[in-house]
Structure 1
Amino acid sequence: MTLRVLRHLAARHRTRATNHTLGLMLAFNAGAMNAGGFMAVHMYTSHMTGFLATLADSLVIGEFALVLAAIGALWAFMSGAGTTAILVNWARQQHLGGAYALPLLLEAVLMLLFGLLGAALQQWPTPFAVPLTVLLLAFMMGLQNAVVTKMSSAQIRTTHMTGVVTDLGIELGKMLYWNRAGTPRAARVRANRQRVRLFASLLLLFTGGGVVGAAGFQTFGFVWVVPQAALLLALSLPPLLADAQRLAAWWRARRGDGA
């Protein structure tokens, strides 16, 4: 993949092709982080449904430590999504090309922090190890999910597959639907085959990322986050470097005019 292509994947101006390509790559990353996170803390942090269920169940049975843990994960996920909104809107107001690159860069840095934190806590375990890791992972998942949601106008999700499976099932149902003879063309039920391919690809890449992430963490430990962070850096740095070059050229021209 050329630098020119990478420069446009996380750029401000979107096309259907760049949305789909970036969504598929981030689905792989989310699957890997979700599975790797489970290997680290024995908990999936990509979807909030489970945490809401834990919150409700724990309230009933009086497990208030679990209630606080669920609230913390929910807060971290929402904070990550909110951080993405702040970064993207700020970049748009500054007319930066890499509007969606900033949260991806932050996620890459936090992923490396997750690796360092996990490796350190393996050597010096503390009671706060699992809660801190869960909060960090949930924040990262919220950060990434909001990136894809904003760039695709909520048409693509990458950190949890419930909506993807639902949409895929709807399109498959349309494919199997029998249109009676004589049904007007405008009234016929037709599947959107492009959406079928997209949703199926998201599922496959999320699953493939989970397999790779689980195997990588099991084999190499927390150092496995380095190639995952490198993927996010490859997506985020080219548009940000292009912005930096434009700002440098503007600054040089301004200094020349001042002289």
Structure 2
Amino acid sequence: MKKNADAFYISINISGFILAFAAGWVDTFALHIFSDENISFMTGRVAKLGKKIFSGDADGIKSLLFIILSFMIGACLSAFITKRNGLCAGLYLSGIAIIITSAVILFLGSGAAVFTLVAIPFSMGAQNAATSLTPIGRTTHLTGPITDIGINIAKGDWRAVLFWAIRFSAFIFGTIMSYYVLTVLDSKSALFSLILFVPGIIIILTGLFQKEITAVPLPES
């Protein structure tokens, strides 16, 4: 029984690491093309929305509402699909949305800005909702994981500390890799869209991995 529990713990750590890595990668790409707009977590976006409302910046309000609502819609649709068909379905939704965005950027270039503004947050909302319904937990932002690290250090639960520390390091690793690729590829290059294609494939393969090998369960409803 302990052996099975350890194997499950390892499998969800692997899935969590890979998905947090992908989220860090995608978020860094979004920072680059949206001029300092994160899209994998919403706290900062809501705070900035308040600032834009206060200053009367209509264009800024519209852009931020697009991001927030797209994330929410992605989470809602993913939760519905994941509850019916399992974690893999929610991850497929997220990965496919990212791959489609990559293709749109390839063909439209700068003309894909509006689509990208909607599709990337949608995909991150979809991923975060799907994993949040399982023992993997949230995978697209670090506020919760860092809080949990502090809580579990206080409790002396070093297994839980390791669980969330792995998530933390994965997100950072994803941002580093994305920044590296962004410095190598020119934004006008046809290969630029591949920066998004890679994490899209990673998310889909992670969904396939957990479906065929680890079978991360959903809680009983």
What band does the TM-score fall into relative to the shorter chain? Answer: 0.7 to 0.9
- 1:212 aligns with 177
Alignment of 1:189-228 (within 5 A): 190-220=155-185, 221-228=192-199
- 2:147 aligns with 166
Alignment of 1:24-173 (within 5 A): 24-42=17-35, 43-91=37-85, 99-122=86-109, 125-126=110-111, 129-152=112-135, 156-172=137-153
Matched, 1:229 2:203: no
Determine which structure has more spread, i.e. the larger CA radius of gyration. 1
Deviation of 1:83 after TM superposition, in Å, equals 1.0
**Could you tell me whether the CA contact under 8 Å between 1:39 and 1:218 is conserved in 2?**
no
Q: What 5-or-longer segments of structure 1 have no aligned partner?
A: 1-13, 92-98, 175-189, 243-259
Give distance in 2, aligned partners of 1:226 and 1:76. Answer: 20
Give distance in 2, aligned partners of 1:198 and 1:142. Answer: 22
Cα 1:18/1:141, change in 2 over 3 Å:
same
Percent identity, please.
Answer: 22
Q: Which amino acid is the alignment partner of residue 132 of structure 2?
A: T
- 1:8 aligns with none
Number of aligned positions between the proteins: 200
Deviation of 1:146 after TM superposition, in Å, equals 0.6
- 1:6 aligns with none
1:186-243 per-residue CA deviation (whole Å, 9 max, x = no partner) reads xxxx41000111111111110001111221233242213333233223223467689x
Give distance in 1, aligned partners of 2:91 and 2:175. Answer: 19
**Could you tell me whether the CA contact under 8 Å between 2:145 and 2:168 is conserved in 1?**
yes
**Could you tell me whether the CA contact under 8 Å between 1:19 and 1:151 is conserved in 2?**
no
Cα 1:84/1:15, change in 2 over 3 Å:
farther
> In structure 2, the residue corresponding to 1:107 is in which secondary structure?
helix
TM-score by length of 1: 0.70
> In structure 2, the residue corresponding to 1:141 is in which secondary structure?
helix
Cα 1:199/1:241, change in 2 over 3 Å:
closer
Give distance in 2, aligned partners of 1:167 and 1:131. Answer: 35
Give distance in 1, aligned partners of 2:34 and 2:97. Answer: 17
**Could you tell me whether the CA contact under 8 Å between 2:38 and 2:45 is conserved in 1?**
no
Deviation of 1:15 after TM superposition, in Å, equals 4.2
